[in-house]
Amino acid sequence: MYLCTRQAPGECCWSLFRARDQTADSPITDYPSPMLVLVTDTSGKDGFVGLVRAGDQGASVDVIDEIALAGGTFSAQLVPQVSELLEKHRLSKGSIDAFVVVSGPGSFTGLRVGLAAIKALAEILQKPIVPVSLLEVLALTSLMIVAAEDGSEPAPNHYAVALDAGRGEAFVGEYEVSGEAENSIKSVGESLLKFEDLINLLASGTARWIATPDQTVFDALNRNVPEFQKRFIRRNLRRPRSLEVALRGCQKLKAGETVLPEQLDANYIRRSGAEIFSKPATGS
C-alpha cells in the first residue's frame, strides 16, 4: 500500500473537468474491478482528498495517494488537488469510477464547498456518488478495533461514537451490533448532544461503550462517569482518512446506495447560526 500525504502545488483547475467524458454517457451500474475511487472530506477543520483502488467489489481497498487540505483553503485547493493527484499518477478524469464523499456532520462552509465540487465533477463525468456520514465510518472502525482487542466478534449491543461539535456539544451516532454478519451494524440515529447527555448515555447503560477520536470529548466523559465504566470509553481510533472512508463507501457502493448530484445533501445535524437566531415569521 502506498500512501503519500505530501502536498504539491497544482496549476490545473476546473478546466481539467470541463469536457464531458465521452465514454460515460450514463452512470455506471456494472462496476469494474478494481475501481478507482476519489474520496473527499471537508467536514472538519482540516480535510483531505484521496485516490484509492477498490478491488473484489469493494471488499479490499488500497490507498494510492492522499493530500491533506488545510482548513480555510477548501474552495481554492480541492479541485486543483484532484487535478494534481490524477496528473501525478498519470490518470485521466475518465479513470474515476465513483466518488465517495463525507457528507457530515461538521463545518457548514466546508461541507458546502466540498459537496458542491463533487456534485459538479460527478455531473460532468456522469459517475456515481456515495455519501457517507463520518459517524458511520467511526462506528464501523471502532467496531473492528473492539473485535481485534477482544479477540472475538462483539456481542449484539448498543454503542455510540462521538465527535466534538464545540460549544460543549458532540455529534453522536448510536448503533447496534446486529450479529447478522461480520462487522454488521444498524444505525439507531444521529443527534447533537450536550456533553452531560452524552455522559448519561454511558452512565445509564443505554450505550455499552462510546468511542471518540477527539480528546475534548474523551476528557469530558472520563471526568464524569463512574470509575468502573471508564474502561468503556474508547479513544483508540483516529479521525477517519481515505482508507476508512473508502471502506465504508465501497460497502455502500456495492449495495447500490448511491445518489445523483442533485440528491447530494449535507448532513449538518446542527442548525446554522442563521436558523437558530432568525426571528420566526409573523402571520399575516
How do residues 207-229 score in pLDDT, each as one tens digit?
Answer: 999 999 999 999 999 999 989 99
Question: What's the pLDDT score for residue 195?
Answer: 96
Query: Greater confidence, 209 or 272?
Result: 209
CA–CA separation, 233 vs 212, rounded Å? Answer: 8
Distance CA 175, CA 244 (A): 17
- pLDDT of res. 175: 94
pLDDT for 48-99, tens place per residue? 999 999 986 656 899 999 999 988 888 888 999 999 999 999 999 899 999 9
Q: Give bridge partners of residue 259 from the DSSP assignment.
A: 129
Q: What confidence score (pLDDT) does residue 154 get?
A: 59
Q: Is the pLDDT of residue 20 over 70?
A: no
Can you tell me the distance from the alpha carbon of 240 to that of 48, in angstroms, rounded to the nearest whole number? 10
This prediction's pTM:
0.81
- Please compute the mean of the pLDDT values over residues 136-144 and round it to a whole number: 89
Find all residues with CB under 8 Å of 159, minimum gap 6, and list them: 139, 142, 143, 174, 175, 176, 177, 207, 208, 209, 210, 211
Sheet holding 233-234, edge to edge: 185-194, 169-177, 158-166, 210-211, 233-234
Which residue ranges make up each domain of the chain? 14-133
pLDDT tens-digit readout, 107-119: 899 999 999 999 9
Q: What is the pLDDT of residues 228-253, one digit of tens each?
A: 999 899 887 789 999 999 999 998 99
Domain 14-133 indexed as CATH 3.30.420.40: yes
**pLDDT value, residue 132:** 96
Average of per-residue pLDDT across 133-141: 93
The span from the CA of 70 to the CA of 46, in Å, is 5
- Grid coordinates given for 160: 455510540
What are the phi and psi torsion angles at 84 (to 5°)? -65, -40
- The mean per-residue pLDDT over the stretch 255-277 comes to 79
Per-residue model confidence (pLDDT) at position 16:
34
**What tens digit of pLDDT does each residue of 171-218 get?**
999 999 866 555 578 899 999 999 999 999 998 989 999 999 999 999
- What does the pLDDT read at residue 74? 86
Q: What are phi and psi of 46, to 5 degrees?
A: -125, 160
User: Is 18 a residue whose pLDDT tops 70?
Assistant: no
Classify residue 42 as exposed, middle or buried by CB count within 10 Å of its CB (0-12, 13-18, 19+): buried
pLDDT at 6 over 50: no
> Rounded to a whole number, what is the largest CA-CA distance in the chain?
65
